[in-house]
Structure 1
Amino acid sequence: MIVGLDHLQLAMPVDGEKAARHYYGELLSLKEIDKPQPLRSRGGVWFQIPDGRQLHLGVERDFRPSKKAHPCFVVGGDLKDLAQRLEEACYDVQFDDLNPPARRFYTHDVFGNRLEFTDRMSAE
């Protein structure tokens, strides 16, 4: 029986670690964590999500960004502030009001992977 979620993984291209650190570490303020030693040779980068889960960015040699499947991150604080930060960094942000009272927006990461951000926790 499933009792939780440990981590989620997104794909990234070869040598994308610097760009991943900038996007996820600097723009989204996630803390980078060390990959276990046996996995380091595969490349990629891992981040800690404040709720205890992890985000793993793994290298795919024939990388193609995920255009439909996506994670949804819960934002603590003002959702519009994060949207503005991403727009100022030249990322397109599309708000969606189809499921009120939660607010949400979609964007793409530095590699083109689709991402969703919501403040649904504050609406409950």
Structure 2
Amino acid sequence: MPFKFNGFDHFQLTAPLGTEKETRYFFTEVLGCPEVEKPDSLSHFDSLWFDMGKHIMHIGLDEDHHAEKRGHPAFDIENIQELMDRLDEHGIAYEEDSNMPGARRFYTYSFFGHRMEFLEWNDQPETLKEGKRKLI
């Protein structure tokens, strides 16, 4: 039986070692994502985990942290305006982008320089829908 992809299980970004407080603040207070307890067998790793809905975000605390400027996670969310309002309340800059047909989206670089994309689909193109993607 051939293997198949079911989607992402989790993904990871890094933060500078020693920034646990700032990392927790960004994910729990600003984005409203609860922290997830790691399994005991992984508790020795310098990392924090956050519930992002369908997936878990791992934040590895790394003394050799380098921010991703181009590579980035993109979050499919509901009520994007509410998130934008929350970022405004916390003084976090973002940039709206209208290049994706059928979506309202924006980028922020606020989390230790990483690019993070947030989008809300209003009319997703058929060629991007699961099961109907046009493969090349």
Partner of 1:72: 74
Q: Secondary structure at the match of 1:119?
A: strand
Output aligned runs, 1:79-98, within 5 Å.
79-98=80-99
- Alignment deviations for residues 34-88 of structure 1 (CA, whole Å, 9 cap, x no partner): 012222222221011222x1110011221111111100011122x1221121123
- Give how far 1:28 is off: 0.7
Deviates more, 1:58-67 or 1:33-42: 33-42
Q: Is 1:19–1:110's contact at 8 Å kept on the other side of the alignment?
A: no
Identity of paired residues, percent?
A: 34
Corresponding residue for 1:43? Answer: 46
Question: Please, which of 3, 27, 33 is the counterpart of residue 24 of structure 1?
Answer: 27
SS of 1:21's equivalent in the other structure is helix
Number of the residue aligned with 1:59: 61
Q: How many residues align?
A: 121
Deviations 1:13-44 (A, max 9, x none): 10121111111111111111101222222222
Q: In structure 1, what residue type is equivalent to 2:66?
A: R
SS in 1 for 2:96: strand
Where does the alignment leave 5 or more consecutive residues of structure 1 unmatched?
none
The structure with the greater share of residues assigned to helix is 1
SS in structure 2 at match of 1:42: coil
With normalisation by structure 2, the TM-score equals 0.81
The higher relative CO (CA closer than 8 Å, separation ≥ 6) is in: 1
User: Runs in 1 of length 4+ with deviation above 3 angstroms?
Assistant: none
TM score, norm. by length of structure 1: 0.89
CA distance in structure 1 between the aligned counterparts of 2:66 and 2:107, rounded to whole angstroms: 18
Maintained 8 Å contact 2:93/2:110? no
Letter in 2 for 1:113: H
Q: Which amino acid aligns with 1:123?
A: D
Matched, 1:123 2:123: yes
